[in-house]
Amino acid sequence: MKKIVWWSIPFVLLTACSNNVAQEIYPENDVPEIVQVLNENKSINGYKSITDKNDVIVAIDIRRMSRFSKDKIEKKIKKQLEEKFPEKEVLVTGDLKIRWEVEKIIKENMQTDKLKKSIDQIKSLSKEAT
């Protein structure tokens, strides 16, 4: 019994540490500006982003030890993106539920009206206090 426990501990630790988030932007019209800002920041693992003509929403995955300064990281990235996109409303968050919604939009390849409704839903989710 002890041997099973000792062999399963490293397996559990290795599988728990391999949760990487891909870097995706949907649709791919403002990719260079967003990628430049997000790749400069070393305190994030990955990101998912959606854009339309009025909004830029970026869900970031913050590194473990950087989570203590999550608000600072979000504000810094938001400020940089607002400088790149002054005509758009920018939302940057490390919230998991918003990242799930962004992943759902990317997976379904939503277009125009459905995309706008989903973006409005994400904005309302971001205002909720959890």
Mean pLDDT by 10 residues, the chain (130 residues): 65 55 75 88 91 91 90 95 93 92 90 87 82
Cα distances (angstroms) measured from residue 93 to each of 13, 38, 127: 27, 13, 11
Q: What is residue 22's predicted lDDT score, i.e. its pLDDT?
A: 74
Signed CA dihedral, 103, 108, 112, 116: sign only: negative
Q: What is residue 21's predicted lDDT score, i.e. its pLDDT?
A: 58
Q: What is residue 110's predicted lDDT score, i.e. its pLDDT?
A: 83
Rg (CA), the chain: 17
What is the model's pTM? 0.78
What are the tokens at 76? 């810094």
Residue 81: count of CB within 10 angstroms of its CB = 22
Q: What is residue 33's predicted lDDT score, i.e. its pLDDT?
A: 86
What are the tokens at 128? 């909720």
Q: What is residue 102's predicted lDDT score, i.e. its pLDDT?
A: 92
Q: What is residue 26's predicted lDDT score, i.e. its pLDDT?
A: 82
CA-angle at 122, arms to 102 and 105, nearest 5°: 30
